[in-house]
């Protein structure tokens, strides 16, 4: 068996990290693997040494019209490449629903086609409909990152759920971190620079809670950050950071981690930053719907609160900072919960599904 793994945009997103972990597990189990991905910016897949990497043309643009146009063009190029290189005996493993050109080539060549589905919030809607119709027509099997996503996007295809997990290297850096309340009161959020990720709500919380430090780590350049906040008044207790390759220092100093995604427009299908926070024994506050509720249990290792409910968010922050016993209990539970989401589970499940 040979796996042809396909990914559109290499970056520091959850989907790129998951594919890196998948390839690591397959090659560890001596499964022949080859990777096709868009040539572009640096990301988690840039350091892959376990497999041969083939690149196809894919420029990254912020403009939604240009972005859509170049996705379509890149998929025509990918389709052409794979149509003349795939063998019927190959298994085509497509990461995210975007590389539809690979699926069409695989269907023509008669390959087994598997999709790893990470997200449901794709725009425009007509493009999303097209992509999921390609999945329905071409795929033999799909893998979802959460039960929530499997129910949100049901397909009449053999399906599996494999939760995203923490890499061993990440877990090792968390070892020895005690579940204790820190002297510094730091509230951390790591997210994309998008309004529906709760950036404005985080800013509101920082204005209302001047006795705490708020740290916002954004998947954006300093120039993009400056432009986004140029008309905003930023309080002294808010510190904003551009894209970071190493987030460990932020988790080590933080006390609480937030996810403030707007449930009306950006429902989280999993939430890797929340899992990373849990591994550090950090209580978290997340939206009450989506894949994150499979990580956070109300009152046990965090709270489930709508991002628009600023008064309740403030009340829970104060409660966690002022009630040491509650904080210690939630912190210990968070760390305990995170142990299930390990590489051993991920490698075992992904290999089992592939060879089944």
At residue 216, the pLDDT reads 98
At residue 44, the pLDDT reads 86
- pTM of this structure: 0.87
At residue 181, the pLDDT reads 65
At residue 118, the pLDDT reads 95
At residue 166, the pLDDT reads 92
SS3 37: strand
Check: CB of residue 257 under 8 Å from CB of residue 277.
yes
At residue 231, the pLDDT reads 93
Q: What is the DSSP string of 213-228?
A: EEEEEESS-HHHHHHH
The answer for residues whose C-beta is within 8 angstroms of residue 259's C-beta and 6 or more apart is: 189, 191, 198, 268, 271, 273, 274, 284, 285, 286, 287, 292
Q: Which residue has the tokens 């740290």?
A: 215
Pairwise CA distance, residues 97 & 168, whole Å: 27
Check: CB of residue 145 under 8 Å from CB of residue 163.
yes
pLDDT in tens, the chain (356 residues): 899 999 998 888 889 989 999 999 999 999 999 999 998 777 889 888 889 999 999 987 778 889 899 999 999 999 999 999 999 999 999 999 999 999 999 999 999 999 999 988 888 999 999 999 999 999 999 999 999 999 999 999 999 999 999 988 899 998 877 656 678 899 999 999 999 999 999 999 999 999 999 999 998 999 999 999 999 999 999 999 999 989 999 999 999 999 999 998 888 899 999 999 999 999 999 999 999 999 999 999 999 999 999 999 999 999 999 999 999 999 999 999 999 999 999 999 999 998 87
């Amino acid at each position: 068996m040979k796996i042809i793994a396909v990914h559109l945009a290499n970056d520091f997103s959850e989907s790129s990290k998951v594919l890196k972990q998948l390839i690591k597990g397959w090659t560890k189990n001596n499964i022949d693997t080859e990777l096709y991905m868009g040539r572009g910016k640096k990301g988690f897949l840039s350091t892959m040494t376990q497999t041969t990497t083939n690149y196809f043309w894919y420029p990254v643009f912020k403009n939604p019209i240009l972005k859509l146009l170049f996705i379509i063009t890149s998929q025509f190029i990918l389709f052409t490449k794979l149509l003349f290189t795939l063998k019927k005996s190959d298994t085509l493993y497509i990461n995210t629903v975007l590389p539809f050109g690979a699926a069409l080539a695989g269907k023509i060549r008669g390959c087994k086609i598997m999709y790893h589905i990470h997200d449901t919030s794709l725009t425009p809607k007509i493009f999303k409909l097209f992509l999921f119709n390609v999945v329905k027509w071409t795929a033999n099997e799909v893998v979802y990152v959460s039960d929530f996503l499997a129910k949100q996007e049901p397909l009449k295809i053999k399906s599996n759920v494999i939760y995203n997990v923490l890499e061993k290297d990440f877990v090792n850096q968390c070892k020895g971190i005690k579940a204790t309340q820190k002297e510094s009161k730091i509230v951390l959020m790591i997210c994309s620079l998008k309004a529906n990720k709760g950036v404005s709500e985080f800013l509101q919380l920082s204005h209302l809670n001047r006795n705490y430090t708020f740290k916002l780590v954004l998947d954006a350049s300093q120039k993009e950050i400056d432009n986004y906040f140029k008309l905003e008044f930023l309080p002294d207790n808010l510190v904003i950071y551009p894209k970071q390759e190493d987030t460990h220092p932020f988790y080590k100093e933080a006390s609480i981690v937030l996810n403030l995604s707007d449930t009306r427009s950006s429902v989280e299908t999993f939430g890797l930053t929340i899992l990373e926070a849990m591994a550090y024994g950090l209580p978290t506050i997340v939206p009450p719907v989506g894949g994150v509720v499979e990580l956070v249990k109300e009152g046990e290792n965090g709270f489930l609160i709508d991002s628009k409910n600023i008064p309740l968010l403030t009340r829970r922050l104060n409660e966690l900072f002022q009630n040491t016993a509650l904080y210690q209990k939630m912190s210990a539970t968070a760390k305990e919960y995170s142990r299930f989401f390990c590489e051993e589970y991920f490698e075992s499940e992904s290999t089992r599904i592939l060879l089944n």
